[in-house]
Structures are given as structure tokens and as C-alpha cells.
């Protein structure tokens, strides 16, 4: 029995996995990806307002658990996320996440949300946003090497945001490729399942790598990448995990989200710390050029950054009235007298 009942200040909107899926289908996958990308671009254009720090990571032999915080001075956000590649063998997700938005002036949270699905959407939206600025004009064919949980999101995002019409798939596990091809049936994309990474990248102007193994790997070798290609390398997300041969990096103009974090976790951990990279916000604001000529190899070394999660949470917060898919959690103690927390406890004592 609760003789007092929750006050309005104690109620925090919560978006569950079921709510998130309902939001996605109410809005539409492609439309939501486009709208997410717009929120990310808006926040990247006000980059200098944000607190920025590399994510706070707890590494183990099995994987990593991370916190990704940021604030624009009015709103604070963070994401809790794990990365455990071995989970897949046990039937679990490699990556799971949830996030929180809070009022800076009071510290009270305004939203708690699942972010496993939302992270997949914002990662794809971020990739396609970068490709709009960096890929060769008229690029219509993309190869995706690594056909796990992120694959289909990437394909649909590049269709919606970057004009991709054909996707060539390859994974070391043919079951993953069959899964992705089946899921993308009816997407409006021309899908080809390939038997090797070399076959997949034939004729592709955009190449996405999104593998899950936590190790230094060489998914693409230098001889596989010709001039004019845009590389979207998003599988590297922790120290000791890479996908591209170092020589590819040396031939590429490299674009990152937040250089101090990417130098720890991205493909550029293979390079000297002084190797030049461009942060993508500089391209979006016109402070730095993106693609300059037809033969240039551009590389988006995407590891995910807290501002993108902030943007995604901000977007979801703005959809609550539009969709109604959330519940209120009685999360915060809200005594009538803020100094009398114990009295609130006493009044709740069972009779």
C-alpha cells in the first residue's frame, strides 16, 4: 500500500524494447533513419558546446562495458553499452545498451530508454551521414563485409540517405549472409550474396566493414582498394580490434568522430599519434573539406561517440508525444518536504 502515491516529479518516461520497436514502425525505418541523421548533424554543427571525453571503458578478456557521457550545458546524456563478441555463440546479443537524458539544472532524468535497437539505428544513420559528405558523387553500389546485427541497418540507411541502390554482402559465416539477404528482401535494394570479400567489393564505390571479432584482423588488404572508393570502417570499437590493413590507412584521407577516442579504439590506433585526421563536424560545418577529387580514397573510421547517442536520445524524447509509446517509472523519491526523506519512508510503513 502506498498512502502517498507517486508525485509528478518522480515519474520518468521509460521506452522499453517493445516501445522502441513500435516507435520505429509508427515512423517507418527509412524515415526514422533520415530524421536521426538530421538530429546528429544538428548537434555536430554545435560541436563546441558539448563536453567531450573518450568513453569510460572497463575491459576484460570477454569484452568491454562502457559509459558514454556528454552534455550541451542544458541537457546531460549518457549511454551504458557492452561489447562481448563471444555472446553470439551463446545466443546473446554482442552489443546491448540503455541510455538516460537528464536536466542539467536539476539533475532530474527526463528519459530512460533502451538503446540496443536505437544504437543500431544511430550507428547506421551516422555512417550514411558521413558518406553523404565523403562518398564519390553518384555512388550507387555498396559492399558490406560482416553481415551481423548491424548489416541491414547500414544497408537501409545508405539507401535512404546516400542513394545506394545495390548492396553486395559477404560474411565468413554464410548463414549470416543468408540472414541479411532474407531480411533485406523487399527493401528496394538489389542484393547480391558473395562468396568472398574480394567478390563483394567488385564494382562497389562504398565499402562498409562491420565485423565483431575482438582482435587485430585484416578484413581488407591494400591491393583490394582502388582509387575513388569510400570506406566506412565501423567494426573497430576497442583497443586491439581493427579491420583494415595499415597500408590502406596510409593511402586514405581519414575522417573520425572524436580523434582522442578514435586513436584509442579505431583503425587509426595502427598509426602514429601525429598522423593527421579530420573530425567530421569540421566537414559538416564547412571548416574542412570532405571529398576533393574523384581518385581520393576517403575513410570514415567510425567508433561511435557520445554526442551521437545524445542526439538519438533527444530524438526519441521528441517522439514521445507523437507516438505515445512509453510508460512512466516511479523512479525518484519525491517527498512533500525535500528535507524529510525519512518521514516519507515512515509514511510508507505497512499498516
Cα gap 225→233, rounded to integer Å? 13
Whether the CB-CB separation of 140 and 210 falls below 8 Å is answered with no
Report CA dihedral (136, 142, 146, 149) to the nearest 10 degrees: 100
Run of H or E including 273: none
Cα gap 207→233, rounded to integer Å? 8
Whether the CB-CB separation of 110 and 331 falls below 8 Å is answered with no
User: Which of 307, 319, 317, 318 is CA-nearest to residue 126?
Assistant: 307
Cα gap 237→122, rounded to integer Å? 15
Instruction: Give the cell for residue 311.
Output: 542526439
Cα gap 265→241, rounded to integer Å? 7
User: Which of 280, 303, 309, 302 is CA-nearest to residue 75?
Assistant: 309
Following DSSP, what letter does each residue of 60-82 receive, concatenated? -SS-EEEEEEEE-SSEEEEEEEE
Q: From the candidates 43, 237, 301, 309, which is the catalytic residue?
A: 237
DSSP state of 293: S
Cα gap 126→139, rounded to integer Å? 17
For 92, counting Cβ atoms within 10 Å of its Cβ (0-12 exposed, 13-18 middle, 19+ buried), the class is: exposed
**237 noted as active-site residue:** yes
What are residue 36's DSSP bridge partners?
none
Cα gap 309→323, rounded to integer Å? 20
Instruction: Give the cell for residue 333.
Output: 523519491
**Catalytic residue set:** 237
Amino acid at each position: 500500500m502506498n498512502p502517498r502515491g507517486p508525485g509528478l516529479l518522480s515519474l520518468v518516461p521509460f521506452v522499453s524494447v517493445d516501445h522502441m520497436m513500435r516507435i520505429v514502425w509508427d515512423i517507418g525505418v527509412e524515415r526514422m533513419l533520415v530524421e536521426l541523421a538530421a538530429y546528429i548533424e544538428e548537434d555536430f554543427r554545435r560541436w563546441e558546446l558539448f563536453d567531450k571525453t573518450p568513453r569510460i571503458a572497463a575491459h576484460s578478456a570477454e569484452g568491454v562495458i562502457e559509459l558514454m557521457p556528454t552534455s550541451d550545458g542544458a541537457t546531460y546524456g549518457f549511454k551504458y553499452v557492452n561489447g562481448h563478441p563471444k555472446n553470439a555463440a551463446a545466443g546473446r546479443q554482442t552489443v546491448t545498451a540503455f541510455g538516460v537524458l537528464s536536466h542539467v539544472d536539476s539533475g532530474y532524468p527526463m528519459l530512460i530508454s533502451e538503446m540496443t535497437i536505437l544504437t543500431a539505428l544511430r550507428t547506421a544513420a551516422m555512417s550514411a551521414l558521413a558518406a553523404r559528405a565523403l562518398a564519390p558523387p553518384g555512388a550507387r553500389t555498396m559492399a558490406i563485409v560482416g553481415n551481423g546485427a548491424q548489416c541491414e541497418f547500414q544497408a537501409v540507411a545508405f539507401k535512404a540517405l546516400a542513394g545506394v541502390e545495390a548492396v553486395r554482402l559477404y560474411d565468413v559465416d554464410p548463414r549470416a549472409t543468408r540472414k541479411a539477404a532474407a531480411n533485406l528482401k523487399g527493401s528496394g535494394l538489389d542484393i547480391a550474396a558473395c562468396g568472398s570479400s574480394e567478390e563483394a567489393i567488385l564494382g562497389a564505390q562504398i565499402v562498409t566493414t562491420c565485423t565483431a571479432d575482438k582482435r587485430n584482423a585484416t578484413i581488407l588488404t591494400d591491393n583490394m582498394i582502388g582509387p575513388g572508393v569510400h570506406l566506412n570502417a565501423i567494426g573497430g570499437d576497442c583497443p586491439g580490434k581493427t579491420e583494415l590493413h595499415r597500408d590502406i590507412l596510409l593511402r586514405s584521407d581519414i575522417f573520425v568522430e572524436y580523434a582522442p577516442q578514435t586513436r584509442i579504439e579505431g583503425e587509426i590506433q595502427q598509426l602514429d599519434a601525429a598522423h593527421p585526421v579530420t573530425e567530421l563536424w569540421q566537414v559538416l560545418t564547412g571548416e574542412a573539406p570532405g571529398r576533393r577529387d574523384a581518385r581520393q580514397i576517403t575513410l570514415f573510421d567510425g567508433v561511435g561517440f557520445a554526442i551521437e547517442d545524445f542526439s538519438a536520445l533527444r530524438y526519441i524524447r521528441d517522439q514521445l508525444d507523437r507516438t505515445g509509446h512509453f510508460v512512466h517509472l516511479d523512479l525518484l523519491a519525491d517527498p512533500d518536504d525535500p528535507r524529510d526523506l525519512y518521514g516519507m519512508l515512515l509514511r510508507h510503513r505497512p499498516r
